[in-house]
Structure 1
Amino acid sequence: MKMSLRVLSMVMGLLLLAVAGFAEFAAKPNVPPQQAPGGAAVRPSTPKRVLQGEKIVALMCVHCHRDPSIKTLAGRPMPDLGTDLGNLYSANITRDPVYGIGKWTDQQVVTLMRTGTGRDGRLHLGMPRFAYLSDEDAASLVAFLRSDNPLTRATALPTPPQELSPLAKSLMGTALQPTPLVKHLAEAPPASQPVALGRYLAIGRYQCYFCHSQSIGTNNEAQPELSKGFMGGGEKMLDDDLKVRVSRNLTMDPETGLGKWTEAQFGKAVKFGMAPGGILHAPMPKFSTLTDDEVHALWTYLKTVPKIKNATPEDGAGSPK
């Protein structure tokens, strides 16, 4: 998941007018914490939940949190987020009791996932918020992070302080806010309800909408379907080589979306990165562990999303700027 480039450029002019008013605040080395919301008790760990948590972590957490030299979830520098907000680092989420989440309560871990607020009340920038994650999936993530998997091995590596730009400091507490706790499902819908399951996967567990709507900066995490250009693509992101990529239109528009694709083609693209028009690029993950039922559910749900005509570079709309 990547921070938006477009939204930052769109609001730059307006923000420059506001920066003067925030000058004193922006000069401060730290951002004041907010009150971290509480949370309900988290379901206990079971072998089944550990396996489910491993699947979700592999798809949604490893890319940003895995240190490639240590091969644990000790965090890393995040140049692929761009530098408008400064030099950011992903957090150490190993079992280390000092530098990781070893002493966090289960509720504190889930609160961070849902709201973006750490146990010290500080907002974690650049991290998507899993506001609609089910209680079962949240418990599964916690179970895996508490497990003895090599990825979660306690790693005594401190996360460097976030080097926030004056722009980022000026936005903290104003445009950049924690996501409120929202009503969410206890468990994912069954495969026998493909539209409901697909919606949950797209906005809850895998958050397709987060990158595939108009802009991360205009996403509505509390009401995802109200995000501008919901599922219509167009979000500019950086790949692993810091090259700009544009997210695909996932609506069923026949000219610029998936309207002429088949379910089989969609499944091949989502699972293996092989689309009808060619190989998909990072930061799009390969969801290789999706089941056939999950692919079918996502496809069925996307057919219910209002069509948006929005051509991206792969449709001949020109190269991203």
Structure 2
Amino acid sequence: MKKFLKVLAIIFSVFVGFILLFALYINFSSLPVYEVNPLPVQVSHDSLAVQQGRKIVETVCYTCHKGSDERLSGAMISQPESGLGEIWSANITKHSTLGTGRYSDGELAHMLRTGINREGRYIGPFMLFPYISDEDLAAVIAYLRSDSPITQPSEVSRPKPDYSFIAKALFKLGAFKPLPAPEQEILAPSANDKMAYGKYLSTAVYACFECHSKSFETNDILQPEQSEGYFAGGNPIEDRDFNIVYSANLTPSRESGIGNWTKEDFTVAIRQGLRPDSRLLNEMMPRFALLSDEEIDAIWTYLRSLPAVESEAIAGLQ
């Protein structure tokens, strides 16, 4: 019996030692570094391209990258005590050393597609555009290079992420990893195909599904429709004061979705932030004021095609 207990104690000690070594590896070893392969990109700086880029950047990127100086200088998006640790969105103004001015167009395209920055670090799972068309991606870069007030160089230097143990484990075990770079040209669907165009806008460009599915943790960026609770809402999101708000169900459910809304209701909601009952949407819901009627119509058409999903009552559309 004593021999058995001794063997058991040795096995337990080895197991505990292994766990401690694993924890030390996760907590103190460097994060993975990946190869940087700038992508070929043809950036036009004409007014149409810049305007298209403005629409995407001001609607998508500005929400998280808006600094106290009203520029794209970055802000805290995750507190130290949160699950991922302290994370600041980057300064993406044109600053030559602190912002996107230090990136080539190809490096920017590679980072936006794969999540790998010019130092070889993976910055995801946020801010990724794996399926945006080459033309729209080039427009985003054109706007970041433009003379817009929000892109002007900011001297603000944001801290590097101080990831939690859980986040470090996700990076080092491969749960958080770069997306594959495209191997061929990516084209946007024709605007005449409302269903395909609406899906493209709501998944690849404006990434509506990321907030309006069940959780960021269960979203599938490469296969959005496989995301748990696809467009059924309920995703807990921190607002600018780090209070939790819940994303809305955008399926045609009449009980918990937007099945009772008209297209006009939807248009006013996403452009002006005003619900049909006259309540304001939370500030974390971007205002899509720059979207054309054609784009809104396509998104509406796609959302109406989704299966109606019943979900728990939550605090309104966000």
Q: Answer yes or no: is the 8 Å Cα contact 1:80–1:240 preserved in 2.
A: no
Q: Answer yes or no: is the 8 Å Cα contact 2:55–2:291 preserved in 1.
A: no
List alignment gaps of at least 5 residues for structure 1: 1-17, 316-321
Q: Match of 1:102?
A: 101
Q: Match of 1:178?
A: 178
Q: In structure 2, how many angstroms separate the alpha carbons of the residues matched to 1:151 and 1:224?
A: 30
- Relative distance call for 1:31 and 1:295 in structure 2 (3 A) is same
Q: Match of 1:200?
A: 200
Q: Answer yes or no: is the 8 Å Cα contact 1:38–1:111 preserved in 2.
A: yes
Alignment of 1:36-75 (within 5 A): 36-68=36-68, 70-75=69-74
SS across alignment from 2:191: coil
Deviations 1:265-320 (CA, angstroms, capped at 9, x unpaired): 111111111112432113111111111111111111112222211133147xxxxx
Q: Match of 2:6?
A: none
Q: Answer yes or no: is the 8 Å Cα contact 2:231–2:250 preserved in 1.
A: yes
Deviations 1:239-280 (CA, angstroms, capped at 9, x unpaired): 122221111111112221121211111111111111124321
Give 1:80 shift: 6.7
Q: Answer yes or no: is the 8 Å Cα contact 1:66–1:72 preserved in 2.
A: yes
Alignment of 1:111-260 (within 5 A): 111-125=110-124, 127-173=126-172, 174-182=174-182, 186-260=186-260
- Relative distance call for 1:314 and 1:19 in structure 2 (3 A) is farther
Give 1:195 shift: 1.1
Deviations 1:111-143 (CA, angstroms, capped at 9, x unpaired): 211222111111114623111111111011111
Q: In structure 1, how many angstroms separate the alpha carbons of the residues matched to 2:299 and 2:86?
A: 35
Give 1:37 shift: 4.6
Give 1:188 shift: 3.2
Q: In structure 1, how many angstroms separate the alpha carbons of the residues matched to 2:185 and 2:262?
A: 30
Counterpart residue identity of residue 107, structure 2: Q
SS across alignment from 2:230: coil
Alignment partner of 1:307 is 2:308: yes
Counterpart residue identity of residue 39, structure 2: G
Give 1:44 shift: 3.0
Give 1:38 shift: 4.4
Counterpart residue identity of residue 231, structure 1: F
Give percent identity, aligned residues only.
Answer: 34
Give 1:49 shift: 0.8
RMSD: 2.3
Deviations 1:135-165 (CA, angstroms, capped at 9, x unpaired): 1110111111112222222233333121111
Q: In structure 1, how many angstroms separate the alpha carbons of the residues matched to 2:62 and 2:80?
A: 15
Deviations 1:211-266 (CA, angstroms, capped at 9, x unpaired): 11111111111111111111111111111222211111111122211212111111
SS across alignment from 1:303: helix
Moved more, 28-37 or 104-113: 28-37
Q: Match of 2:13?
A: none
Alignment partner of 1:87 is 2:86: yes
Q: Answer yes or no: is the 8 Å Cα contact 2:133–2:187 preserved in 1.
A: yes
Counterpart residue identity of residue 128, structure 1: M
Q: Answer yes or no: is the 8 Å Cα contact 1:254–1:260 preserved in 2.
A: yes
Alignment of 1:270-281 (within 5 A): 270-277=270-277, 278-281=279-282
- Relative distance call for 1:172 and 1:272 in structure 2 (3 A) is same
The structure with the largest alpha-carbon Rg is: 2
List alignment gaps of at least 5 residues for structure 2: 1-17
Counterpart residue identity of residue 65, structure 2: H
Higher RCO (C-alpha 8 Å, min separation 6): 1
Q: Answer yes or no: is the 8 Å Cα contact 1:271–1:287 preserved in 2.
A: yes
SS across alignment from 1:313: coil
Q: Match of 1:8?
A: none
Give 1:183 shift: 6.8
- Relative distance call for 1:126 and 1:108 in structure 2 (3 A) is same
Q: In structure 2, how many angstroms separate the alpha carbons of the residues matched to 1:312 and 1:182?
A: 40
SS across alignment from 1:88: strand
Q: In structure 2, how many angstroms separate the alpha carbons of the residues matched to 1:288 and 1:257?
A: 22
Give the structure-1-normalised TM-score: 0.85
Alignment partner of 1:78 is 2:77: yes
Q: Answer yes or no: is the 8 Å Cα contact 2:213–2:231 preserved in 1.
A: yes
Give 1:192 shift: 2.1
Q: In structure 2, how many angstroms separate the alpha carbons of the residues matched to 1:298 and 1:143?
A: 25
Instruction: Report how many residues are paired.
Output: 297
- Relative distance call for 1:35 and 1:21 in structure 2 (3 A) is farther
